[in-house]
A and B are shown apart, each in its own frame.
Chain A
Amino acid sequence: MAFIEIIFYVFSSILVLTSLGVILFKNPVYSAISLILSFITSAALWLLLQAEFLAIVLILVYVGAVMVLFLFVVMMLNISDVIRTSRFNKIAPFALFIGLIIVGELITLIWIRSDQFSMTSSPISVLDTSVGNTTLLGTALFTDYLYSFEIAGFILLLAIVVSISLTLRRREGLKRQIVSEQVNIDPTKRMKLVDLKSEKN
């Protein structure tokens, strides 16, 4: 299927370019947008691997939620300051070194040892395509991976507790609307009829 290959190469080149954009753009907002784009293209690549549910959840969670937070943070920065104090060049050689190591490893893995990968059965053939991808995942997640799933619940609870305890500051002297008080007002307490004696000449 040549068409799929074309699509794959198009998306992977976009992915590589946008990932480069994340680190090369001086303006952090552009970096964040590159990151969003790279998430979208990786979602497309996952789709090519038949991981339908995960691909869309990648967009839903990372693009739809995580990157919104990133943009919130990045937009608050004073852009001109950030660009001036960019320390990219100091870290670059080290990062390049690590990156090269990882690339080298991947190449060795894929190139030299590619014959070994045939021993793991290809996941696509195993899938029962009559049931949706999501249903299959759900069936596995809530039975076989029950323990991990509940741990995930506690990690989310922990995230709630930690984020609130770290960011929430109660400001003093604020007036809040308390609906129940507004609704339960007793009119006789709010209004008082006063008899005023008319002035006499």
Chain B
Amino acid sequence: MDEFLTILFDFLPPESIRFVVPFMKIIILLVALILGAAFLVFFERKVIAFMHQRIGPNRVGPKGWFQSFADVIKLFIKEVIVPSNADRFLFLTAPLLSLIPALAAWAVIPLNETFIIADIDAGILYLLALTSFSVYGVILAGWASNSKYAFLGAMRSAAQMVAYEIAMGFALVGVLMAGGSLNLGDIVAAQSGGILHWFWIPLFPLFFVYFISGIAETNRHPFDVAEGESEIVAGFHVEYSGAAFAIFFLAEYVNMLLIATLTSIMFLGGWESFFAGSNYLMNTSLEFLMEPSILWLAVKVSFFLFTFFWLRASFPRYRYDQIMKLGWKVLIPITIIWIGVEGVMFLANVGPWKVA
């Protein structure tokens, strides 16, 4: 990718290459993300419709495939209402504050061995920092709207995100102990091999906790009390309309993609093949299945995305005290205990880590 882009922009002065190449990579990634988010909305509706035994969107385009584009156009030609009591500047800044971290997190995510925008050492730390930053979009949206429902939603959401971020952070520590690096590429490399070499087996509780807190962090069902329709209308974005709402919407779906991708990378071996190192496929015509590829990552990500929808269709919304209880009293103890277990495993030299 890098070489290709370098050759492509060969005509530019050499100093600018280091700006142009990442820029082009970013554009490619952003287009993919936005398209992904658009189709994700469509799939969500289709999957849930399937589970409800309905048809779902089927009017726009063949079998409804262009539904999301119609939605996007609709959203953009709608009026952006800024309520009269709202703090105008913050009201319009809040959506940006939730979009920017959601997108910028992708900078450190490798999609295969070579495609990564910023290969920094402290990748996971960067991700955690950005995740913690995303709470501001919600809080400020709620405060700036100057509406009671929005404010309540923002407060709920902030306390919830805060609780689940700790569980998430502890789960990440477990991954780090196993992977021995903060760099996501290195973590995938530490899992090289087939499905039995991935971290989901030694870190099963953390895998579970991470995905659940990921759902809670993105304010998705069944943890969506921040926008619980039946209680506080639409929560923190009750006053948002048109393009401003679209930004929140985009951020939410990009975050879903992010959580699914991260879970795949950290616990399911990223782009490694399910069959890597398998003796049965060796030297057969199916040997190509053992190669690592971005497609494997796509399969894993799709599975987690499907799980997002599946959970949404299956579970009723949690009550708020139950959410807090789950976060503080179930997930955090599990992660702390498992970190202790990992420490013991490390001392006893069992597990995936290499003792130097």
Contact = CB atoms under 8 A, between A and B. Distances in A.
Interface string A57-97: 10110011100100110010000000000000000000000
Contact of A134 (B90, B131, B139, B182): B182
Contacts of B120: 52
Q: DSSP class of A's interface residues: helix, strand, loop or mixed?
A: helix
Contacts of B158: 68, 72
B143 A52 contact: no
Contacts of B183: 132
Contacts of B182: 132, 134
Interface residues of B, number: 26
B122 A56 contact: yes
B132 A60 contact: yes
B133 A64 contact: yes
Given A56-B122, A56-B129, A177 B143 contact: no
A64 B90 contact: no
B122 A68 contact: no
Contact of B122 (A36, A75, A132): A132
B69 interface: no
A132 B180 CA distance: 11
Contact of B121 (A59, A64, A75, A133): A133
B323 interface: no
Q: DSSP class of B's interface residues: helix, strand, loop or mixed?
A: helix
B147 interface: no
Interface string B132-174: 1101100110010000000000010010001001000000000
A68 B142 CA distance: 13
A52 B128 CA distance: 14
Interface residues of A, number: 20
A179 to B, nearest CB: 8
B322 interface: yes
Interface of B: 87, 90, 120-122, 125-126, 128-129, 131-133, 135-136, 139-140, 143, 155, 158, 162, 165, 181-183, 321-322
Interface of A: 29, 33, 36, 52-53, 56-57, 59-60, 63-65, 68, 71-72, 75, 132-134, 177
Given A29-B90, A134-B182, 10 more contacts: A33-B90, A52-B120, A56-B122, A56-B125, A60-B129, A64-B129, A71-B143, A75-B139, A132-B122, A177-B322
